[in-house]
Amino acid sequence: MDTRLLSETLARVSGPGFIIKTEVHSSSDYDTSVVFNDPSKKPSWSIVESGVIDTQWAIVRAQRDNKLLSCDWTRLDDVPIDPVKKTEWETYRQELRDITDQPDPFNINWPTPPE
Protein backbone atom coordinates (compact mmCIF):
# COMPACT_ATOMS: atom_id res chain seq x y z
CA MET A 1 0.00 0.00 0.00
CA ASP A 2 1.24 3.45 -0.85
CA THR A 3 2.61 4.99 2.37
CA ARG A 4 1.50 8.50 1.44
CA LEU A 5 -2.05 7.32 0.81
CA LEU A 6 -2.03 5.36 4.07
CA SER A 7 -0.75 8.40 5.97
CA GLU A 8 -3.42 10.66 4.44
CA THR A 9 -6.14 8.15 5.28
CA LEU A 10 -4.94 7.71 8.86
CA ALA A 11 -4.80 11.47 9.35
CA ARG A 12 -8.32 11.83 7.99
CA VAL A 13 -9.73 8.93 10.04
CA SER A 14 -7.93 9.47 13.34
CA GLY A 15 -6.04 12.75 13.26
CA PRO A 16 -2.31 13.24 13.91
CA GLY A 17 -0.15 11.30 16.32
CA PHE A 18 1.06 8.21 14.50
CA ILE A 19 4.21 6.86 12.87
CA ILE A 20 4.43 4.47 9.93
CA LYS A 21 7.67 2.53 10.41
CA THR A 22 7.62 0.38 7.22
CA GLU A 23 5.42 -0.35 4.23
CA VAL A 24 2.03 -1.83 5.02
CA HIS A 25 0.54 -4.57 2.85
CA SER A 26 -1.64 -6.48 5.28
CA SER A 27 -3.40 -6.40 8.61
CA SER A 28 -0.37 -7.88 10.38
CA ASP A 29 1.92 -5.24 8.80
CA TYR A 30 -0.48 -2.58 10.02
CA ASP A 31 -0.49 -4.01 13.55
CA THR A 32 3.30 -3.96 13.79
CA SER A 33 4.31 -1.04 11.55
CA VAL A 34 1.85 1.70 12.49
CA VAL A 35 2.32 3.10 15.98
CA PHE A 36 -0.01 5.64 17.56
CA ASN A 37 0.97 7.96 20.41
CA ASP A 38 -2.39 7.06 21.94
CA PRO A 39 -3.06 3.38 21.08
CA SER A 40 -6.78 3.84 21.80
CA LYS A 41 -7.00 6.11 18.72
CA LYS A 42 -5.64 3.48 16.33
CA PRO A 43 -8.47 2.58 13.92
CA SER A 44 -9.02 -1.01 12.86
CA TRP A 45 -7.35 -2.29 9.72
CA SER A 46 -10.73 -2.71 8.00
CA ILE A 47 -11.57 0.98 8.55
CA VAL A 48 -8.17 2.06 7.25
CA GLU A 49 -8.29 -0.27 4.26
CA SER A 50 -11.80 0.92 3.38
CA GLY A 51 -10.66 4.56 3.63
CA VAL A 52 -7.65 3.93 1.41
CA ILE A 53 -9.82 2.22 -1.19
CA ASP A 54 -12.34 5.09 -1.10
CA THR A 55 -9.51 7.59 -1.55
CA GLN A 56 -8.04 5.59 -4.44
CA TRP A 57 -11.44 5.49 -6.16
CA ALA A 58 -11.61 9.28 -5.83
CA ILE A 59 -8.19 9.50 -7.50
CA VAL A 60 -9.34 7.19 -10.30
CA ARG A 61 -12.51 9.24 -10.85
CA ALA A 62 -10.45 12.45 -11.04
CA GLN A 63 -8.12 10.88 -13.60
CA ARG A 64 -11.12 9.63 -15.57
CA ASP A 65 -12.74 13.07 -15.48
CA ASN A 66 -9.54 14.66 -16.83
CA LYS A 67 -9.41 12.13 -19.64
CA LEU A 68 -13.04 12.88 -20.51
CA LEU A 69 -12.38 16.63 -20.46
CA SER A 70 -9.42 16.21 -22.79
CA CYS A 71 -11.67 14.72 -25.46
CA ASP A 72 -14.81 16.81 -24.98
CA TRP A 73 -13.98 18.48 -28.28
CA THR A 74 -15.06 15.27 -30.07
CA ARG A 75 -18.67 15.94 -29.03
CA LEU A 76 -18.92 19.37 -30.65
CA ASP A 77 -21.19 19.61 -33.68
CA ASP A 78 -18.85 21.82 -35.67
CA VAL A 79 -15.80 19.52 -35.43
CA PRO A 80 -15.22 17.71 -38.71
CA ILE A 81 -14.76 14.10 -37.61
CA ASP A 82 -15.27 11.09 -39.79
CA PRO A 83 -18.37 9.18 -38.57
CA VAL A 84 -16.28 6.07 -37.89
CA LYS A 85 -13.85 8.10 -35.74
CA LYS A 86 -16.76 9.76 -33.97
CA THR A 87 -18.08 6.30 -33.03
CA GLU A 88 -14.61 5.29 -31.80
CA TRP A 89 -14.50 8.38 -29.58
CA GLU A 90 -17.99 7.66 -28.27
CA THR A 91 -16.91 4.11 -27.38
CA TYR A 92 -13.75 5.37 -25.69
CA ARG A 93 -15.70 7.93 -23.65
CA GLN A 94 -18.19 5.26 -22.55
CA GLU A 95 -15.31 2.99 -21.50
CA LEU A 96 -13.98 5.87 -19.40
CA ARG A 97 -17.37 6.40 -17.78
CA ASP A 98 -17.52 2.65 -17.00
CA ILE A 99 -14.05 2.63 -15.39
CA THR A 100 -15.51 2.41 -11.88
CA ASP A 101 -17.07 -0.94 -12.77
CA GLN A 102 -13.60 -2.47 -12.44
CA PRO A 103 -13.03 -4.29 -9.13
CA ASP A 104 -9.64 -2.91 -8.05
CA PRO A 105 -8.91 0.84 -7.97
CA PHE A 106 -5.18 0.12 -7.68
CA ASN A 107 -5.06 -1.85 -10.97
CA ILE A 108 -7.13 0.08 -13.48
CA ASN A 109 -7.11 -1.06 -17.08
CA TRP A 110 -7.44 2.25 -18.90
CA PRO A 111 -8.86 2.26 -22.42
CA THR A 112 -6.70 3.55 -25.25
CA PRO A 113 -7.98 6.69 -26.98
CA PRO A 114 -8.53 6.56 -30.73
CA GLU A 115 -5.79 7.89 -32.94
Torsion of CA 94, 69, 87, 80, to 10 degrees: 170
Residue 111 three-state SS: coil
Q: How many whole angstroms separate alpha carbon 48 and alpha carbon 29? A: 13
Domain boundaries, the chain: 3-101
- pLDDT tens-digit readout, 16-55: 999 999 999 899 999 999 999 999 999 999 999 888 899 9
Rg (Cα) of the chain, in Å, rounded?
A: 20
Q: How many whole angstroms separate alpha carbon 73 and alpha carbon 85? A: 13
Reported as a pLDDT band with limits 50, 70 and 90, residue 102 is very high
User: Are 92 and 111 in contact, with CB atoms under 8 Å apart?
Assistant: yes
Predicted TM-score (pTM) above 0.75 = yes
